[in-house]
Amino acid sequence: MAKGSISSLFYLFTRKRTTFSNLKSLLFNHSLTSSSHSQFHHPFRPFSTHLLNPRCITSFSQSLTLYGDRTLPTRPFSTAGEDGGAATDEDSQFEKGIGNFEVGTKVSDDVCDLSENGVVLDYGNDECYSNIVDSVECSNSSISCTSNDNRDDDELEDFTHVASKDPVELYGELKSVEKGVKLARAEVDVLTDVFDYFAKSGWASNQALAIYIGLSFFPTAAHKFRNFFRKRCSADVAKYLISLGPCDVAVRFLFPVFVEFCLVNFPDEIKRFRDMVKSADLTKPHTWFPFARAMKRKIIYHCGPTNSGKTYNALQRFMEAKKGIYCSPLRLLAMEVFDKVNAKGVYCSLLTGQEKKHVPFANHVACTVEMASTQELYEVAIVDEIQMMADPYRGYAWTRALLGLKADEIHLCGDPSVLDIVRKICQDTGDELCEQHYERFKPLVVEAKTLLGNLENIRSGDCVVAFSRREIFEVKLAIEKTTNHRCCVIYGALPPETRRQQANLFNDQSNEYDVLVASDAVGMSLNLNIRRVIFNNLSKYNGDKILPVPASQVKQIAGRAGRRGCLYLDGLATTLHLDYLDYLIECLKQPFDHVTRAGLFPFYEQVELFAGQFSNLTFSQLLEKFGENCRLDGSYFLCRHDHIKKIANMLERIQGLSLDDRFNFCFAPVNVRDPKAMYHLLKFAAAFGQKVPVSIAMGMPKCSARNDSELLDLESRHQVLSSYLWLSNHFDEEKFPFVKKAEAMASNIAHLLSQSLIKANWKPESRNRGKPKAVNSEEEQTEPRSEFILKTEKKDDGYSRPQSPVKLSPETA
């Protein structure tokens, strides 16, 4: 008997007694020793790569170096959504992958015909296949013999001529064969095991990604391949595989033939998966703006701390230019620039998500950064607060502006934290970068005495900074109770008009409102007559836990004191309590962070392209899948979009919305933690979906707030109107015919809010019971009430004294 046959029989004898798990451990042992038999079984053959993606070649050659090692090669690209960790858990990956791609899968005729063509053996159907697998899985007997990997050399037939066969040639031979060799049932069982092993191979499925066989489609492809192969394979090839048994060596022998098979038989599936991968490709974002790339742009980075004249200088160039755009992080700032520039005789329009104020003959526009046009040509563009490109939620808007603005000169204003990343981006875009470094006009002095925990030490021109709405009103109440000072308040949930009114009230020296109590919303660019910034505390709730306020933010806020042009010579910064002083000093001493990645988010067109690959996913699932599958360069991160998914989920059951509509609705500015705002958004979307004019469906309060819940109600109502106006600007205006009414209502409510704040002297309530509304910047956050109270010390005056962040978090100790 030939050596090969002996070894086959030997294998066949043992396989029936092998449990599936033992088979796995056997294979594990086998793979550890596989290098030893590679020398006589399978001189590793290069397979045809002329049709393959270069990635395939790279990853395949990587795998060569790992040959005989159990480590799986690095996946060529991120497909976490499909395999969820294929490299580490082959079985679970196999389970996960099965069937997902089956929907709509079209197998070419050649493959479909196989079942009717030249059937030699009778177990090519799925039932038989699963029975065979089951029989292996159900067997409980343990292994009592060694695997074929441990056989003596002289037991083995020489299969070098098979092992070294060119895969294209081998595939050609298989294709041309009418009828394969007739095998005994036991031999067929072995072959089935070999192909079963192949179908479950993490290595093979991973490598197949390089020819765009997705992980979910891989089992189907492997199954078709098995049918094809088994019915057409020649005696020597069959014997060779039987002699190998189910092992990595067999997988590596089969894989190149499998590649040829897939390229011929699954062009549609390959194209579909390639399109999906391509559509989730966010690499090289600078190439998304070919017109901007065709321009010779000069980037001027005005780089320095707060109050150093960066924006002032950039605005000088803006006003000199024939045509300019100013991109602001906040509506409020866009409005300020709009007013300032027009006051200087330079016609300038205003464009924010909520309002369009077109000034006749204006060539300039002040807009919020998300609204910046990448179509228009400008002489000068300003992108203010450029460090926001690292913002986890909104960073993409700054990145887009930097990459896409078509302007001869682009002035970036911001701190140095994103300087490195801007340098890198300019290298990619080929733009000239010119750095202008600035120093603060006035020194910032830290008052070591602090307020010793006593708000009676408040002085005129002080700004107390607190990090939640509740705290702001508590502090205001305490100051007004214990001193003769009156307080203005500024926080993110207030409409820009109200914030502006409060800022003017504070800046105006002729009234009694000489103290400001504000959230970190005060940190961005507002020009305020602040003598001293006092941190009420230096910890804030980040939506998950209470953490120390980051040093960059502390600097930005403290920097508001003593701005050029204000009444006070020096800028002072201190804390309410001595406990915080060290942390404040530490923050102010710290150099700026060096951010290495900028935010990115796909355009609608990219999401639409991606959506084309999946017919049955909801928009939220689509975003999830995109997030899992997208590829990014090392210089970028995908911006967080939890709030978008939240809205997407809420709108899921609304009929009549296209993908485009959903995308737009999900970007509407709404506090996802405000049930009233969410409810109205849902109503707007429902009406829009029914193709009826979207009405505001909300009454107008008659008077200013008399308590905190009425104040909260006004804030919510303003936000609903703000969403309505935003939607009217992002959809066909005919669908939102009550714009004028919404504008009037919003303006009235902003006025009522201003009036309410002047007399507000009540204890703060929370919007959601147990979850007080935080007011930190534009991105509102909430904090768990119970946790917060737990971490504060109640004082006799009813004012809560928070603990030092150093005590709250060991990270800062």
Residues that bind ligand ATP (CB under 6 A): 304, 306-312, 413, 525, 527, 559, 563-565
Rounded Cα distance between 269 and 102, Å, is: 10
Minimal distance in Å, beta carbon 588 to ligand ATP?
A: 15
8 A C-beta contact, residue 477 and residue 435: no
Rounded Cα distance between 151 and 454, Å, is: 86
3-state secondary structure 514-557: EEEEECHHHHCCCCCCCCEEEECCCEEECCCCEEECCHHHHHHH
Judged by CB, which is closer to ligand ATP: 342, or 716? 342
What lies within 8 Å, CB to CB, of 129 at 6+ separation is 123, 192, 223, 226
Minimal distance in Å, beta carbon 516 to ligand ATP?
A: 16
Three-state secondary structure call for residue 599: strand
For residue 756, the tally of other CB atoms under 10 A from its CB is 23
Three-state secondary structure call for residue 409: strand
Judged by CB, which is closer to ligand ATP: 309, or 550? 309
Minimal distance in Å, beta carbon 387 to ligand ATP?
A: 9
Kindly list the distances between the CA atom of residue 745 and the CA atoms of 211, 273, 679, 750, 757, in Å, as whole numbers in the listed order: 58, 50, 18, 9, 18
Minimal distance in Å, beta carbon 592 to ligand ATP?
A: 12
Three-state secondary structure call for residue 94: helix
Minimal distance in Å, beta carbon 679 to ligand ATP?
A: 37
Rounded Cα distance between 703 and 759, Å, is: 13
8 A C-beta contact, residue 82 and residue 215: yes
Buried b (16+ CB within 10 A) or exposed e, 248-276: bbbbbbbbbbbbbbbbebbeebbebbbeb
Minimal distance in Å, beta carbon 342 to ligand ATP?
A: 16
Minimal distance in Å, beta carbon 630 to ligand ATP?
A: 33
Q: How many CA atoms lie less than 13 Å away from 312 in the CB half-sphere?
A: 13
Minimal distance in Å, beta carbon 354 to ligand ATP?
A: 23
Minimal distance in Å, beta carbon 488 to ligand ATP?
A: 19
Judged by CB, which is closer to ligand ATP: 386, or 681? 386
Judged by CB, which is closer to ligand ATP: 210, or 386? 386
Judged by CB, which is closer to ligand ATP: 330, or 623? 330
Kindly list the distances between the CA atom of residue 739 and the CA atoms of 14, 495, 729, in Å, as whole numbers in the listed order: 79, 17, 9
Token output for 668: 């509407």
Minimal distance in Å, beta carbon 757 to ligand ATP?
A: 24
Judged by CB, which is closer to ligand ATP: 82, or 336? 336
Minimal distance in Å, beta carbon 344 to ligand ATP?
A: 12
Judged by CB, which is closer to ligand ATP: 208, or 558? 558
Judged by CB, which is closer to ligand ATP: 485, or 560? 560
Minimal distance in Å, beta carbon 565 to ligand ATP?
A: 5
> Interior CA angle at 517 toward 511 and 518, to 5°?
125
- Residue 168's H or E segment, with its range, is helix 167-176
Residue whose C-alpha is closest to residue 804's, from 467, 536, 509, 450: 536
Minimal distance in Å, beta carbon 750 to ligand ATP?
A: 24
In DSSP notation, 645-677 reads: HHHHHHHTT-TT--HHHHHHHHTS---TT-HHH
Judged by CB, which is closer to ligand ATP: 508, or 642? 508
8 A C-beta contact, residue 308 and residue 441: yes
Task: Specify which residues 773 forms β-bridges with.
Answer: 782
Judged by CB, which is closer to ligand ATP: 174, or 386? 386
Judged by CB, which is closer to ligand ATP: 130, or 316? 316
Rounded Cα distance between 162 and 170, Å, is: 9
Minimal distance in Å, beta carbon 422 to ligand ATP?
A: 16
8 A C-beta contact, residue 594 and residue 564: no
Judged by CB, which is closer to ligand ATP: 528, or 720? 528
Token output for 710: 């009425």
Task: Specify which residues 377 forms β-bridges with.
Answer: 406
> Interior CA angle at 41 toward 35 and 45, to 5°?
85
Rounded Cα distance between 97 and 88, Å, is: 14
Three-state secondary structure call for residue 510: coil
Judged by CB, which is closer to ligand ATP: 364, or 662? 364
Rounded Cα distance between 38 and 32, Å, is: 12
Judged by CB, which is closer to ligand ATP: 307, or 606? 307
Residue whose C-alpha is closest to residue 30's, from 188, 197, 163: 197
Judged by CB, which is closer to ligand ATP: 49, or 527? 527
Judged by CB, which is closer to ligand ATP: 530, or 750? 530
Minimal distance in Å, beta carbon 365 to ligand ATP?
A: 19
Rounded Cα distance between 317 and 335, Å, is: 19
Minimal distance in Å, beta carbon 782 to ligand ATP?
A: 27
